[in-house]
Chain A
Amino acid sequence: MSDRRSSDLRTLLLLEWRRERRVPQVLPTMLLFSIGAFVLFRFGLQDGRVEGPLAAGVLLVTTLLAALLGIGRLWAAEEEEGGLDAFRLTPASPTALVLAKALALWTFLLALHVVAVPAFLFLLAPHVDVAALPRLAAVLVLTDLGIAVVGTLVGAVAAVARSRELLVPLMAVPLLIPAVAIASEALAPLLERDAGSIEPRWWLVLALYDAVFVAVAWAVSDGIVED
Chain B
Amino acid sequence: MSVPPTDAGAVRAPGASRGADPGPDPAVALDGLVRRRGERLVLRDVTLDVAAGTTLALLGPNGAGKSTLLRVLAGLLRPSRGGCRVLGHELPRDRRALGGRVAYLAHEPMLYRDLTVRQNLEHRARLLRVAPARVEALLEATGLERRAGFPVQALSRGLTQRAAAAATMLADPDLLLLDEPLANLDPTATARLRDLLAPTSPTAADPTRARTRIVAGHDPDAALAEADLVLGLRDGRVALLAPPSAITDVEIGELYR
Contact = CB atoms under 8 A, between A and B. Distances in A.
In the complex, A touching B (Cβ < 8 A): yes
Interface of A: 1, 4, 7-8, 11-12, 15, 18-19, 22-23, 77, 81-83, 85-93, 227
A81 B104 contact: no
Q: In the complex, which of the residues B74, B103, B104, B112 has the most CB atoms of chain A within 10 Å of its own CB atom?
A: B112
15 contacts: A11-B123, A18-B115, A22-B114, A22-B115, A81-B113, A82-B109, A82-B110, A86-B167, A87-B127, A88-B76, A89-B76, A90-B100, A91-B3, A92-B127, A227-B77
A1 B3 CA distance: 9
B1 A93 contact: yes
Nearest to B77: A227
Q: In the complex, which of the residues A19, A23, A88, A91 has the most CB atoms of chain B within 10 Å of its own CB atom?
A: A91
Nearest to B168: A89
Interface residues of B, number: 32
Interface string B1-12: 101000100000
B129 A91 contact: yes
Contacts of A1: 1, 3
A81 B76 contact: no
B227 interface: no
Contacts of B113: 77, 81
B110 A81 contact: yes
Contact of A91 (B76, B128, B167): B128
Contact of A83 (B77, B78, B110): B110
Interface of B: 1, 3, 7, 74-78, 96, 99-100, 102-104, 106, 108-115, 119, 123-124, 126-129, 151, 167
Contacts of B167: 86
A83 B120 CA distance: 10
B3 A4 contact: yes
A8 B127 contact: yes
B59 to A, nearest CB: 24
Contacts of A82: 106, 108-111
B3 A19 contact: no
Contacts of B109: 82
Contacts of A89: 74-76, 99-100, 102-104
A91 B7 contact: yes
A11 B115 contact: no
Q: Which DSSP category, helix, strand, loop or mixed, fits chain B's interface?
A: loop
Contact of A19 (B74, B106, B112): B112
Contacts of A93: 1
Contact of A85 (B76, B114, B128): B76
A207 B179 CA distance: 48
A18 B110 CA distance: 17
Contact of A227 (B78, B104, B114): B78
A85 B129 contact: no
B43 to A, nearest CB: 15
A60 B11 CA distance: 47
A89 B126 CA distance: 13
A85 B110 contact: yes
A22 B75 CA distance: 32
Contacts of A23: 114
Contacts of B108: 81-82
B115 A19 contact: yes
A90 B3 contact: no
Contacts of A81: 108, 110-113
A92 B77 CA distance: 18
Contacts of A7: 126
Contact of A11 (B74, B102, B111, B126): B126
Q: In the complex, which of the residues B74, B77, B127 has the most CB atoms of chain A within 10 Å of its own CB atom?
A: B127
Nearest to B74: A89
Nearest to B177: A89
